């Protein structure tokens, strides 16, 4: 028979909060880095102005490439901040990224004229493997 002590009941919420913070930090870092890079490229006129579709395959590949790199970084951040079981936290981040990417792909495809459909689909499909790689790299 196990008896819950005050110390065990207090550590669970703290650990849960640290786990949520680790996953949240990874997610927010990917979003902030991606949007900041987008803004810089719009200001430099590499990308068309906000609100205009971006059909150029090279520009979409550029956006996909830095988003993949930032997702790898997000996986590293999550794994390093995780209180325990870093890869479990990274898997949660990857699932959330896939869900968010899928929702974004559905929205982008249903709103015609934003750009090629392969781009948001590729974002959704690369979310999980990218953060997983980041988590694995942080373990070294």
CA distance 47 to 29: 22
**Residue 14 — pLDDT band, cuts 50, 70, 90?**
confident
Structure tokens at 76: 């590293």
Look at the pTM and tell me if it is higher than 0.75. yes
| Helices 6-43 and 57-81, packing angle to 10 deg | 160
pLDDT tens column, 69-108: 999 999 999 999 999 999 999 999 999 999 999 999 999 9
């Amino acid at each position: 028979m196990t008896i819950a002590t005050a110390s065990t009941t207090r550590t669970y919420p703290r650990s849960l909060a640290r786990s949520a913070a680790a996953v949240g930090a990874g997610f927010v870092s990917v979003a902030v880095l991606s949007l900041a890079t987008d803004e810089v490229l719009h200001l430099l006129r590499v990308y068309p102005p906000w609100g205009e579709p971006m059909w150029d395959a090279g520009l979409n590949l550029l956006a996909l490439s830095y988003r993949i790199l930032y997702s790898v970084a997000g996986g590293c951040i999550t794994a390093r901040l995780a209180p325990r079981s870093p890869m479990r936290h990274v898997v949660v981040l990857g699932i959330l990224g896939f869900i968010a990417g899928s929702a974004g792909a559905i929205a982008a495809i249903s709103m015609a004229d934003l750009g090629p459909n392969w781009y948001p689909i590729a974002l959704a499909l690369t979310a999980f493997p990218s953060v997983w790689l980041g988590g694995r790299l942080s373990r070294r």
